[in-house]
Amino acid sequence: MVAALIAMAFCGCKKDTTLVSEPKKLKISNKLASIPTHVFDWETADYMPTPAGSPPILVPWASGSNQLFPNEIAFDYKKADGWNLIYNTFSPTQLTSPNFFALYNKYRGLIRFYLYLPPGSPYASSYFSDGLGISGGYPSSIMNFSKEIIDPENVPQSVTKIQNYQILSTGAWYACQYELAYDPYIANTSQENLNFVWNVSSTNLSQVALNGTSSGTLTGTVGTASSGGFNLGSLLGNLGNTAILVAGFKGIQALNLPKSKVFGTDVTKSIEDGVKGGLSGAVKGFFSAILGGAATSPQVVDLKLKVETNLTGSITNNSGILSTTLAMPGSANANSVGYIPSYNKILGVFDFSVAPILFVANQKVLIYEAPGAETKYIDDYSVVYHHGLLNDFRPITNPEVTNDGTTVKVTRIDVLVPYRQKYASYGRPSEKTTIERYLDRNDPNYPMPESYGKEIVGEEIYAYGSSSNVANAKNIFFKVQHRQDYSIGTGYYNATNLDGIRIRYTILITPGNGSKPITIIKTVKPTLEFT
């Protein structure tokens, strides 16, 4: 059986594993019209570079500046932690509008825009909205990490967010942060077929509900990714695809999340415990996060949380603040018209360009509900993940990250199998869900996972099997087995949700310069192969 599955695994590798094909080499026209980005030392500066005689502008994190962004990221801008200047419209020789600059972290794959709105900005609103996407027609995977779950067969092209900050008439700094995936083919694109588009607007909302509980006001950032462009309407009333985005550990408590409607558990505590566990390599309670990486903020967090969110309000009164097209770093942009990036290398730390293959075997279990009743069968599903054999399904790493001695290592893999709980209207039947040996085989070739158990993520419960011996272990085998009192019928059986199976990766980034390590958690929707 093992040999057959291994053979199938290698056959699976023969599939087309490139969802986005490499574009042809481009012929770049000879038009030298690019404008170099003005470079300044943001670490030591007190003021932004502006022409003589213009009003001075303190840097975003300076004492005395109006900072409308999470406190946890205020002092997370050090070069030693991986930050590089990538865009900047501030200059000592000319005034520009809009006024912004952007930093990029090569170890975390984060790009953070700092936007300065001067006093008297006519954008009255209850909230601040922003979004980042791509334009030009080339189907890049750079926005692949915009969603909580990575689906390599459905790559988003943009992310739209609403932040819990108002536009101040006295002027203020705002921060917009996005996570990027590595797309090696960007090197063969140009301004003609691939650019960033950054949008900012003011937004009015009348009501906010989290996990079905009305809170009246938004206490965090809500976002959704899509295949289209910046679209605030996609956030209003969208219960299924929105996520809460948290930029700092304290931001989890600020959400004031109610208890789980299904399990009655303290959602906030579960997430906080999961973050603390993630810092030590044992992730639980969420699918996507960036943990650590800053000497000044040792628990810097970039979390995407699946929380039922319902936003209502008016989109007719929104005011557009900016919609800026930016040359893509790492592309053939030397002859682009306008500003070229200061950090002009391909972005992102890694990517999952294809879905990992998970093999699923089904056992039909004979059930007699009552004497003389019709014979019925229920399903027990076993899964196997050959993570030690299918090297093509490891994340593709950016050489711009590793060329200074930085290492990118998968330290843990979790296979997560959800099941749906069903209850009788007149009382819950007795039930027991356990993790057993693969296909009930008591054989050394089919060991139990290194660790296994149950885990709650959002309003879903998962059975998981895990391995942290990624370098040597050849597979993760286990069966999700359900046993119940069937005297009231199989209609109340806990059926496994195969479409909801996920594979979660914990990836450790150890910078070559000796700075703080980073833990990145990513969860991928696998391709299921039935055996």
Provide the residue range defining the domain that includes 383: 353-530
Same domain? For 290 and 387 the reply is: no
Question: Residue 81: what are its φ and ψ, rounded to 5°?
Answer: -90, 5
List pLDDT tens digits, range 414-428. 999 987 655 444 444
- 500: tokens are 């909801």
Provide the β-strand partners of residue 226. 158
Same domain? For 372 and 270 the reply is: no
CATH number for the domain spanning 471: value is 2.60.40
Assess whether pLDDT exceeds 90 at residue 266.
Answer: no
- 236 secondary structure, DSSP code: B
Q: Give the chain's length.
A: 531
- 276's enclosing H/E stretch is helix 267-279
The pLDDT value given to residue 44: 97
Q: How many angstroms separate the CA atoms of 419 and 501, rounded? A: 9
Same domain? For 88 and 154 the reply is: yes
Same domain? For 463 and 411 the reply is: yes
Same domain? For 56 and 177 the reply is: yes
Q: How far is CA 133 from CA 328, 354, 436, 520, in A?
A: 11, 21, 44, 22
27 part of a folded domain: no
Domain boundary among 298, 316, 348: 348
Nearest Cα neighbor of 383 from 405, 413, 361 is 361
The pLDDT value given to residue 347: 98
Which of 207-211, 323-327, 438-442, 470-474 is least confident? 207-211
Assess whether pLDDT exceeds 80 at residue 26.
Answer: no
500 part of a folded domain: yes
Question: Residue 133: what are its φ and ψ, rounded to 5°?
Answer: -150, -175
Same domain? For 310 and 396 the reply is: no
21 part of a folded domain: no
Classify residue 122 by burial, with Cβ atoms within 10 Å: 0-12, 13-18, 19+: exposed
Domain boundary among 348, 378, 399: 348
Across residues 386-402, what is the average pLDDT? 79
Q: How many angstroms separate the CA atoms of 36 and 171, rounded? A: 28
15 part of a folded domain: no
136 part of a folded domain: yes
Q: How far is CA 176 from CA 112, 133, 278, 308, 490, in A?
A: 6, 13, 24, 23, 50
Same domain? For 427 and 298 the reply is: no
Assess whether pLDDT exceeds 70 at residue 429.
Answer: no
Q: How far is CA 440 from CA 2, 175, 480, in A?
A: 14, 53, 11
The pLDDT value given to residue 371: 67
Assess whether pLDDT exceeds 60 at residue 211.
Answer: no
List pLDDT tens digits, range 116-174. 999 887 766 777 889 999 999 899 999 999 989 999 999 999 998 888 788 887 889 99
Same domain? For 287 and 336 the reply is: yes
Domain boundary among 348, 365, 398: 348
Give the distance from CA 530 to its chain's centroid: 28
Same domain? For 82 and 229 the reply is: yes
Provide the number of structural domains found in the chain: 2
List pLDDT tens digits, range 35-51. 788 999 999 999 999 99
The pLDDT value given to residue 4: 45
Same domain? For 515 and 485 the reply is: yes
Same domain? For 384 and 264 the reply is: no
Same domain? For 337 and 366 the reply is: no
pTM recorded for the entire structure: 0.86
28 part of a folded domain: no
Cβ distance 146 to 120 under 8 Å?
A: no
518 part of a folded domain: yes
Provide the β-strand partners of residue 291. 301, 519
Assess whether pLDDT exceeds 70 at residue 6.
Answer: no
12 part of a folded domain: no
